[in-house]
Structures are given as structure tokens and as C-alpha cells.
């Protein structure tokens, strides 16, 4: 990275907490390798202060923000223009600040999800069977949009709150349903993928919902958590003989289109995963 000046392009990530974010390490490594005069920083707006913070950036003082929990729905609400995938997911993880004062929202989580599968589960085809998603938050919605667009014949939500799961199924239409875990065995037997879109892995648990024995041997299991990279959920899936995809691959995948939006070119082909692993282990 060159010395910061008035010409330096600035982008960043906003969340609460945000100290743990690997996004600055990824983007700044790409910037250095590209020779771009830019910097990517982390912002920690106070609780209840994200909308005020983001509105203060209108006019292009910085190029844009990645947005992480718990601000993704607020990010969508303050935007003047929405991409179709952000609208359908009901949340935004990318805001672009234009010179005319308008804010544009997008959601690259689904792009990152499919990129992670392409990298770590080559040959996976979401059209081969239903995709089962644990959870009903923004991450689950983003995953549903991605898999439906990629040709999944059905997306099944399993959530502790049956009402919330049913509401999501209604929102996405006829190719989505919500089931209780007790009723999910038949669909699990034909599932192409099982996605954990809950924070369970952050706490080192597998939890009461670990139906790996019901899955076909061709199914792929994913955990969106990347701290730790190999969650207990993924280790249990591996022990059951299933292929797995980790949250770090998704993080890197969603960062790629964000970098291009911020800095005008695709990220260079460098090994940012090893950098991220070293950061996590450091």
C-alpha cells in the first residue's frame, strides 16, 4: 500500500463487533498486489448509530462499505437503489456511495456462497436435489436467493421458530418450504446440500440439529462460520463421510465482487486464504 493521500481510494467494513473481521486483511493484500492507491479500513458504529454513520458518507467521501452483523437490514433500508438480489434477500452487505449523494445497495453473500462451493466441492450442482438451510436470518435468506437462482429445485428452511421459517417460505414462493427437523428426514435423504446459517459454530457446538446420518453420501455440508474455520459442525460432517465447505471460503468469495465494485478491477490471483488462516492463528 502506498502512502495515504487525498487521492487514495477508501473503502471499508462496518459492523458491531468488527475487530475480528478478516476483510481488511483480504482487501489490503489485494490492493498491495494490484498496486492500487487505496486502503480498506474497519468502522464500528455505535449501537443504533449505523444509519446516521452511513448517511454521513453520502457524496462519495469513501467509495463504499461492506456491512456485517447487525447492520445488514439497516443498510438495505437506507439505500436509494437496490440490486435485485439485495431486495430479494432482504439485506445488504455492500453499499456504494455515489458522487450525487445516492447510495446503492447490493448483496454479494450469495455470490460468495456459490464461489465457496465451486472451490471446495468441485462438481457440486444445486440442481441435483433440495438445499436445506438451518436458520431464518439474513444469511439464510441470502443463501436461498443464491441457490434458487442457481437452479435448486427446492429450498427447505429449518428453524427453531416454525412461524419465522414459514414466513420465509411464503416470501420466496412455491419452490421453498419450511419444516420442523423431526419432519425433514425424507428431504434430507435427497438433499444436494445442508447449510448451517446460524451462529452455532461460533460457540463450538454441533447442537441438536446434526442430521448427517440422514444425508445422501453425495450431499455437501457447509457452515457459514469462519471462526474457527473447522467448526464442530464441519468436523462431525467429515466424520460422517460427507464433503464440507467452510465459512472462510464464502468470506473470500463475497469479498471478490466487493473489491471490484470499490476499486474498479477484479482482485489479483494471490493466495489470500493462507493470509487469512495465518491471521486467525496468529
Tell me the CATH number of domain 9-107+255-281, given options 3.40.50.10860, 3.40.50.880, 3.40.1360.10, 1.10.10.10.
Answer: 3.40.50.10860
CB 224 within 8 A of CB 195: yes
CB 22 within 8 A of CB 50: no
State the pLDDT at residue 136.
80
Residues 189-199: b if buried by 16+ CB within 10 A, e if exposed: ebbbbbbbbbe
State the pLDDT at residue 209.
53
Q: How many CA atoms lie within 13 A of 240 on its CB side?
A: 21
pTM of the predicted protein model: 0.91
Phi, then psi, of 176 in degrees rounded to 5 = -125, 145
Task: Give the rounded distance of the alpha carbon of 197 from its chain centre.
Answer: 9
- Domain segments of the chain as ranges: 9-107+255-281, 110-245
Q: Could you say which of 27, 63, 72, 85 is catalytic?
A: 72
| Identical fold, 9-107+255-281 and 110-245 | yes
State the pLDDT at residue 4.
85
Query: Catalytic: 256?
Result: no
State the pLDDT at residue 227.
86
State the pLDDT at residue 198.
84
Phi, then psi, of 65 in degrees rounded to 5 = -135, 140
Task: Give the rounded distance of the alpha carbon of 45 from its chain centre.
Answer: 20
State the pLDDT at residue 28.
97
Residues with Cβ within 8 Å of 10's Cβ and at least 6 positions away in sequence, in order, are 38, 39, 40, 41, 61, 62, 63
Q: In what order do the strands lie in the sheet with 220-223?
A: 176-178, 155-158, 131-134, 193-196, 220-223, 243-245
State the pLDDT at residue 27.
98
Q: Which residue has the cell 489490503?
A: 28
Q: In what order do the strands lie in the sheet with 38-43?
A: 38-43, 9-14, 64-67, 94-97, 103-106, 81-82
Tell me the CATH number of domain 110-245, given options 3.50.50.60, 3.40.50.720, 3.40.50.2300, 3.40.640.10.
Answer: 3.40.50.720
Q: Quick one: cell of 107?
A: 448483496
**In the chain, which residues have pLDDT < 50?**
1, 202-206, 208
Amino acid at each position: 500500500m502506498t502512502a495515504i493521500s487525498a487521492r487514495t481510494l477508501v473503502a471499508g467494513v462496518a459492523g458491531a463487533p468488527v475487530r475480528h473481521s478478516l476483510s481488511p486483511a483480504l482487501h489490503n493484500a489485494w490492493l498491495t498486489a494490484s498496486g492500487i492507491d487505496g486502503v480498506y479500513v474497519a468502522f464500528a458504529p455505535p449501537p443504533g448509530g449505523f444509519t446516521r454513520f452511513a448517511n454521513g458518507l453520502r457524496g462519495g467521501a469513501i467509495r463504499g462499505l461492506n456491512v456485517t452483523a447487525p447492520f445488514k437490514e439497516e443498510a438495505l433500508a437506507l439505500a436509494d437503489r437496490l440490486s435485485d438480489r439485495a431486495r430479494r434477500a432482504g439485506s445488504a452487505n455492500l453499499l456504494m456511495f455515489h458522487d450525487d449523494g445516492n447510495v446503492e445497495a447490493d448483496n454479494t453473500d450469495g455470490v460468495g456462497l456459490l464461489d465457496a462451493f465451486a472451490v471446495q466441492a468441485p462438481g457440486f450442482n444445486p440442481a441435483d436435489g433440495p438445499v436445506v438451510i438451518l436458520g431464518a436470518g439474513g444469511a439464510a435468506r441470502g443463501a436461498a436467493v443464491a441457490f434458487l437462482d442457481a437452479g435448486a429445485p427446492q429450498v427447505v428452511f429449518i428453524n427453531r421458530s416454525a412461524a419465522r421459517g414459514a414466513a420465509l417460505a411464503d416470501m420466496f414462493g412455491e419452490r421453498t418450504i419450511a419444516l420442523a427437523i423431526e419432519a425433514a428426514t425424507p428431504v434430507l435423504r435427497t438433499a444436494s446440500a445442508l447449510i448451517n446459517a446460524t451462529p452455532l459454530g461460533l460457540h463450538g457446538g454441533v447442537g441438536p440439529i446434526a442430521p448427517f446420518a440422514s444425508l445422501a453420501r453425495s450431499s455437501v455440508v457447509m457452515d457459514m462460520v469462519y471462526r474457527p474455520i473447522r467448526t464442530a459442525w464441519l468436523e462431525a460432517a467429515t466424520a460422517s463421510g460427507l464433503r464440507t465447505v467452510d465459512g472462510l471460503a464464502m468470506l473470500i468469495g463475497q469479498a471478490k465482487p466487493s473489491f471490484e465494485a470499490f476499486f474498479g478491477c477484479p482482485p489479483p490471483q494471490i493466495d489470500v486464504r493462507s493470509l487469512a488462516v495465518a491471521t486467525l492463528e496468529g
